[in-house]
C-alpha cells in the first residue's frame, strides 16, 4: 500500500542540492535558494534530517585551522552529486556563480563529519554540473552533464575505482545515450538505467532546439556496452531535474520539468526492467506539488523527498522567473505499518484528540498528509 504518509514544513529551503541516506539519517549538501548570495565563496552547508525524530539539524562550519586546509572543504555549489561508499560520502562536480564548474573530488567522513580531498590519479572528468553519479560495489560512475570547458552536453561515462582512487574514461561500445544534463542514472543489478534529461536535437551543443528524453537507455557495466532496448508504451513525458530511485528491483521516477511544454510534474512512474514496461502509480495520501530539482533518498521502505522549486501560485511571491523554492519534506511509504495506518485513520475520521497526551497528538499530526508541523523541526542536538 504505497502512501504519502508525512508532510513537514520548515526545513532548509534548497534547490539543486545533493543528498545521501546514511542509516536513519539523510545528509543534504549545498544547493541554492533564490535571493541568496552565490558569488561570495563560503563553505558548503550540510543539513541532516533524522527520520526517527523528524527533525533537521544544520552542521556547524568546519574549522580548517588556517588557509592551508581550507581547500579541503568544498565551496557552496549547486548541480553537484553525492554518493555513499562505506562510511564516506563522495561529492563531485557542480558549479558556483564565481568559480564556475568544478571537478575536484571531495570526501566527507560520516563518523567524524570531516572533509578531505583524496589523492587521485587517472583521467579526471572535465568540470561540469547536471551530471549523474551512481555506485556499484566500490566504484562510482559519472555520466553526462554540461561540461564547462567544452561548453556542451556530455554523454561520456567516467568510473572512479575507490579501492585505488583511479579515474578512468570508459570506452563504451554500442549506441550511446544522447548527450544530456539533469537526467537520472540508477543502478539495478549490474546495469545503469538512464532516463530523462535535457538534450539538443542536433548534437552536443546547446541551441534553441531542446528536447527532453523519455526513453530508457541501459548501460551494462560488465560488458561496458550500451544495450539495444525495445520500444514500449505508455511512456512518461520527457523531463529533466526529476528524482529517480530503485525499490525491489524496479525503477521509480518522480516530478521534473519540461521546458518545451512549460510543465512541472508531480507524477510517479514505475519501470519494470524485466518486462521493460512503465506503469503510472497513484499513491494514497496527498503528495508534493509539481516541482523540479528536489532531492529524494531511500531510507528502509520509505522515500524522503524534500526541497525543489515550482511555479509560483501567486504573482509577486516567486523570483524573477516566477518560481518559488520549497522548504518542505514528504515521506512516501512503501510499507506503512499498522500503527501508522491507525494514526492516519484517527486523523482522517476527525476523531476527538483532546484527551490524548501532547506527544501523541503531535505524532498524529505528523502522520497526516494534510497538516503541517507546528513543532519546531530544527534541532541543535541532531
DSSP annotation of 359: H
Q: How far apart are CA 139 and CA 180, in angstroms?
A: 22
Question: Is 55 inside a domain boundary?
Answer: yes
Mean pLDDT (10-residue bins), the chain, 382 residues: 93 97 98 86 95 96 68 93 97 94 97 96 98 97 97 97 98 97 98 98 93 96 96 94 98 97 97 97 96 98 97 59 91 82 53 45 47 42 36
Question: Is 373 inside a domain boundary?
Answer: no
Provide the domain limits for residue 95.
17-118
pTM metric for this prediction: 0.89
Task: Give the pLDDT confidence score for residue 320 in this predicted structure.
Answer: 44
DSSP annotation of 310: E
Q: Which has the closest alpha carbon to 79: 100, 94, 96?
A: 94
Question: Is 214 inside a domain boundary?
Answer: no
Question: Is 163 inside a domain boundary?
Answer: no
Q: How far apart are CA 128 and CA 80, in angstroms?
A: 8
Q: Answer yes or no: are the C-beta atoms of 322 and 312 closer than 8 Å.
A: yes
Q: How far apart are CA 167 and CA 117, in angstroms?
A: 14
Question: Is 227 inside a domain boundary?
Answer: no
Q: How far apart are CA 135 and CA 84, in angstroms?
A: 8
- Using only the alpha carbons of the chain, give its radius of gyration: 21
Q: How far apart are CA 52 and CA 282, in angstroms?
A: 26
The secondary structure of 230-262 as a DSSP string is ---SS-PPP-BS-EEEEETTEEEEEEEEETTTT
> What's the total number of domains in the chain?
1
Three cell numbers at 300? Answer: 528502509
Question: Is 283 inside a domain boundary?
Answer: no
Q: How far apart are CA 363 and CA 374, in angstroms?
A: 11
Question: Is 30 inside a domain boundary?
Answer: yes
Q: How many residues does the chain have?
A: 382
User: Distances in Å between the alpha carbon of 214 and those of 112, 227, 244?
Assistant: 41, 16, 13
Other C-beta atoms lying within 10 Å of the C-beta of residue 14: 27
Q: What are phi and psi of 50, to 5 degrees?
A: -90, 115
Question: Is 71 inside a domain boundary?
Answer: yes
DSSP count for the chain of H helices, then E strands: 2, 33
Helix (H) or strand (E) holding 29: strand 25-29
Peptide bond into 167 cis (omega under 30): no
Task: Give the pLDDT confidence score for residue 114 in this predicted structure.
Answer: 95
Task: Give the pLDDT confidence score for residue 66 in this predicted structure.
Answer: 59
Task: Give the pLDDT confidence score for residue 62 in this predicted structure.
Answer: 85
Amino acid at each position: 500500500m504505497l502512501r504519502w504518509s508525512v508532510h513537514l514544513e520548515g526545513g532548509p529551503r534548497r534547490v539543486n542540492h545533493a543528498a545521501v541516506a546514511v542509516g536513519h539519517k539523510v545528509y543534504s549538501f549545498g544547493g541554492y535558494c533564490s535571493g541568496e548570495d552565490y558569488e561570495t565563496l563560503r563553505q558548503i552547508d550540510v543539513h541532516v534530517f533524522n527520520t526517527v525524530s523528524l527533525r533537521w539539524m544544520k552542521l556547524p562550519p568546519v574549522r580548517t585551522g588556517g588557509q592551508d586546509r581550507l581547500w579541503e572543504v568544498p565551496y557552496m555549489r549547486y548541480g553537484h552529486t553525492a554518493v555513499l561508499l562505506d562510511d564516506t560520502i563522495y561529492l563531485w562536480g557542480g558549479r558556483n556563480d564565481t568559480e564556475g564548474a568544478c571537478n575536484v573530488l571531495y570526501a566527507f567522513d560520516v563518523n567524524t563529519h570531516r572533509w578531505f580531498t583524496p589523492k587521485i590519479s587517472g583521467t579526471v572528468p572535465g568540470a561540469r554540473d547536471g551530471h549523474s553519479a551512481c555506485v556499484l560495489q566500490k566504484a562510482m560512475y559519472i555520466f553526462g552533464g554540461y561540461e564547462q570547458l567544452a561548453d556542451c552536453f556530455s554523454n561520456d561515462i567516467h568510473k572512479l575505482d575507490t579501492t585505488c582512487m583511479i579515474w578512468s574514461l570508459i570506452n563504451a561500445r554500442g549506441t550511446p545515450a544522447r548527450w544530456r544534463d539533469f537526467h537520472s542514472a540508477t543502478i539495478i543489478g549490474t546495469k545503469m538505467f538512464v532516463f530523462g534529461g535535457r538534450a539538443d536535437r542536433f548534437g552536443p551543443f546547446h541551441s534553441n532546439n531542446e528536447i527532453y528524453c523519455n526513453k530508457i537507455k541501459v548501460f551494462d557495466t560488465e560488458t561496458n556496452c550500451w544495450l539495444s532496448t525495445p520500444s514500449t508504451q505508455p511512456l512518461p513525458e520527457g523531463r529533466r531535474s526529476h528524482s529517480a530511485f530503485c525499490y525491489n528491483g524496479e525503477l521509480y521516477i518522480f516530478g521534473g520539468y519540461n521546458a518545451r511544454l512549460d510543465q512541472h510534474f508531480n507524477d510517479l512512474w514505475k519501470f519494470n526492467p524485466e518486462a521493460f514496461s512503465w506503469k503510472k502509480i497513484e499513491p494514497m495520501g496527498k503528495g508534493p506539488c509539481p516541482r523540479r530539482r528536489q532531492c529524494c533518498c531511500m531510507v528502509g521502505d520509505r522515500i524522503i523527498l524534500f526541497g525543489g522549486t515550482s511555479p509560483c501560485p501567486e504573482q509577486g511571491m516567486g523570483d524573477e522567473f516566477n518560481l518559488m523554492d520549497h522548504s518542505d519534506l514528504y515521506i512516501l511509504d512503501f510499507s506503512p505499518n499498522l500503527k501508522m495506518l491507525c494514526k492516519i485513520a484517527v486523523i482522517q475520521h476527525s476523531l476527538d484528540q483532546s484527551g490524548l497526551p501532547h506527544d501523541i497528538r503531535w505524532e498524529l499530526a505528523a502522520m497526516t498528509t494534510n497538516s503541517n508541523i507546528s513543532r519546531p523541526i530544527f534541532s541543535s542536538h541532531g
